[in-house]
Amino acid sequence: MIDIKTSSGKWEKFTAQIEQFLAADTIELTVEGEKVHGYRSPDSPALWIRDHSDILRGGKYFAQDMKSAVEVFAQTQAANGRIFDFIITTPEKKEAENWEKWVRVQVEADVEYRFVKAAFTAWQAAGDDEWLAGLLPNLEKALAYSMAHPWRWDEQYGLIKRPYTIDTWDFDYTAGRTKWLNFRITPDTFWGIFHGDNSGFYEAANLLAVMFRSVGESVRADYWSCVAEELRRRANQLLFNGRFYTHFYKLTPVKIDGVDEAEQLSLSTPMAINRGMATHEMAVAILQEYRQRKKNSSAFAEWFGIDPPFPDGIFGDEKLSGGAYINGGIFPLTGGELSRAAFEHGFEEYGLQTLEQYRTMIG
């Protein structure tokens, strides 16, 4: 529980609202006869490890069951370390079968590090060291998969790679080769390096080091600390352009007309600060960039999915017009990360303004 007392009383109300939001996002499943509790996106009946991992950062203050969701993803981990994206046990639209279905979206390269982050958060909240010790082989195998599989790791740059998606989303650009959104890797995939995958992996490797050290495994802890710092050095050198992180460093030559790709600022950028990959100087530059875009934008907030957006419909769905959803829509997720980063790097007034804007918006 969070116990907040302020002279105005407004932050107590704000916290209560957040607790209500989180309660509405819970999901209860039965898997192999066992109850599983997790957090889901409001628009999906599935338990995604990505949503669970992110929402758990707030949910840990309210939820009682912190471990079952992590356990069920660990139990279904592939021999090579791969983690499923989500489980769904209710029929989807136009589907009569009520089977249990596990899915991995091929274009996503962020699943494994989110699994590690979820496990760390659950361990911190539950304080179960014995549970953690039994889970560590799964966590290490997940990150090792990200560094070994040719779909996930770029040998030339020593960084996580992925198909050309919008930030961390689950469909990629195909130059019109598919009729609708594409979720699969093909021989024609446009490859590149996305900063969010690497800041997420960096954080997860550091968290894995913390977990290994907590159980006395100093050799493994030192190894993952080294992996994290070397990746951070390479990522910052390749991806930071002096103002913010380049959205997508292309490995496959491709040009999308109608947008200046070099100017695209994407959703996961503030996360690079909060995950620790950005230096303080980089964080300051990023925060200044967001403040400048706030001044120059007609949007009500600078919490963009991506800015500037891609041309309407080029990912295969006409609904993905500029300013819609991840293609330039406004995300409180970005605003929250931005506010936290501002508080940590000397922009307290900006951080409070951002948080106050969200509080007012939902009030």
Residue 1 has pLDDT above 80, yes or no: no
Mean pLDDT of 301-305: 98
Residue pLDDT, tens place only, 74-119: 999 999 999 999 999 988 888 888 899 999 999 999 999 999 999 9
- Cβ atoms of residues 221 and 134 within 8 Å: no
**Architecture of domain 10-362 in this structure:** Alpha/alpha barrel (1.50)
Q: Give the separation between CA 211 and CA 354, rounded to whole angstroms.
A: 33
Residue 95 is predicted with a pLDDT of 84
Pairing between β-strand 248-250 and β-strand 159-160 as defined by DSSP bridges: unpaired
Residue 117 is predicted with a pLDDT of 99
CA 242 to chain centre: 23
Residue 31 is predicted with a pLDDT of 96
Q: Give the separation between CA 176 and CA 195, rounded to whole angstroms.
A: 25
Q: Give the separation between CA 87 and CA 350, rounded to whole angstroms.
A: 39
Residue 363 is predicted with a pLDDT of 87
Pairing between β-strand 248-250 and β-strand 26-31 as defined by DSSP bridges: unpaired
Residue 247 is predicted with a pLDDT of 99
Reduced to 3 states (helix: H, G, I; strand: E, B; else coil), residue 27 is: strand
Q: Is the model more confident about 338 or about 44?
A: 338
Residue 42 is predicted with a pLDDT of 86
Residue pLDDT, tens place only, 256-300: 999 999 999 999 999 999 999 999 999 999 999 999 999 999 999
Residue 152 is predicted with a pLDDT of 99
Place of tokens 């953690």: 132
